[in-house]
Amino acid sequence: MATKRAFTVEQRRIIWNTEEKRHCAKCKEALTWDNFTIDHVKAYSKGGKTSLEQAQIMCRSCNSRKGAK
């Protein structure tokens, strides 16, 4: 069975609501519900799972630059 790459709406809600400080994990920019993205700590392309334990919030710019690193 294939796993999904994208985090679900429910996963996004849980991750957002469990973050104490809602800042980008990389650049520390303050984030809002409308501008945050979910990043796989270990890149999905390198075997990272789409799970709550494997997620962090990031700004769109940092997440895009990170890519499969």
| Tens digits of residue pLDDT in 17-63 | 999 999 999 999 999 999 999 999 999 999 999 999 999 999 999 99
Looking at the domain assignment, is residue 1 inside a domain? no
Long-range contacts from 28-32, C-beta under 8 angstroms, 24+ separation: 29/59, 29/62, 31/57, 31/59
Q: How many domains does the chain have?
A: 1
Q: With contact defined as beta carbons under 8 Å apart, do 6 and 63 qualify?
A: no
DSSP 8: P
Q: Residue 20 sits in which domain range?
A: 9-66
Looking at the domain assignment, is residue 51 inside a domain? yes
Looking at the domain assignment, is residue 2 inside a domain? no
Look at residue 69 in the predicted model and tell me its pLDDT: 67
Sort 67 into a burial class: Cβ within 10 Å, 0-12 / 13-18 / 19+: exposed
